[in-house]
Amino acid sequence: MSRSQIIYVLAILATGSLIVIGIFAASRKPQDLSQPIEFSHRIHAGDNQIACLYCHTGAIRSTAAGVPPVATCYECHRLVKLKSPEIMKVLKYWETKQPISWVRIHALPNHVYFSHKRHVLGGIACQSCHGDVQLVDRVSQQAPLTMGWCLQCHEQRGAPRECETCHK
């Protein structure tokens, strides 16, 4: 390869990685996402004291906490606040059997293994990792979700710190 060809290849590689970094940055911007329905944790988990696990049943059963299906909303909203335009949207999803496409806020990289069940059954409150969700209309990421953050608590609580714990 001539010198100019090498520079050309390097330039292409650099552009490629900039694009990758760009996509990565865009996909990791967690705050201020608008949701398909104006769902408020303050109204549900705060004012009306509906338990987190009522909607996030996965949190004690599996790795993912999960978001509730429309059927869970319908259990109450077939009766509650029917005249609200936002609830009409909920009923429309129910009637057309469409899932509500909630925008996901938290996401660890794929190479990390995390289990809600282990932590929640281990007695750690949702709020230690997610903040006072019951006080806010819209959830945002509160903890940094970095490796240092995981390890700091594992050290404090005597939980495993071997690499294979979190990287299978």
Q: Rule CB under 6 A: is residue 38 a binding residue for ligand HEC?
A: yes
Of 64, 82, 92, 155, which lies in the binding site for ligand HEC, with binding defined by CB under 6 A?
A: 64
Among 28, 78, 92, 118, binds ligand HEC (CB under 6 A): 118
Pattern 72-101, binding to ligand HEC, x per CB under 6 A?
A: xx-xxx--xx--x-xx--x-----------
Closest by CA position to 106, among listed 64, 55, 161 = 64
The residue within the footprint of ligand HEC, chosen from 42, 50, 57, 136 (CB under 6 A), is 50
- Among candidate residues 73, 82, 75, the one with its CA nearest the CA of residue 39: 73
Structure tokens at 39: 């769902």
d(C-alpha 105, C-alpha 151), whole Å:
22
CA angle, 118 then 123 then 125, to 5°: 100
Nearest distance in Å: CB 71, ligand HEC: 9
Distance (Å, whole) CA 153 – CA 122: 13
Q: Which of 15, 17, 98, 128 binds ligand HEC (CB under 6 A)?
A: 128
Q: Contacting ligand HEC (CB under 6 A), which of 15, 17, 35, 98?
A: 35
Q: What is the closest distance, in whole angstroms, from the C-beta atom of residue 145 to ligand HEC in the complex?
A: 5
Residue matched to tokens 């050309």: 8
**Given candidates 107, 117, 136, 155, which one binds ligand HEC under the rule CB under 6 A?**
107
Cβ-in-10-Å burial (0-12, 13-18, 19+) of 160 comes to: exposed
Q: How far is the CB of 79 from ligand HEC (least distance, A)?
A: 9
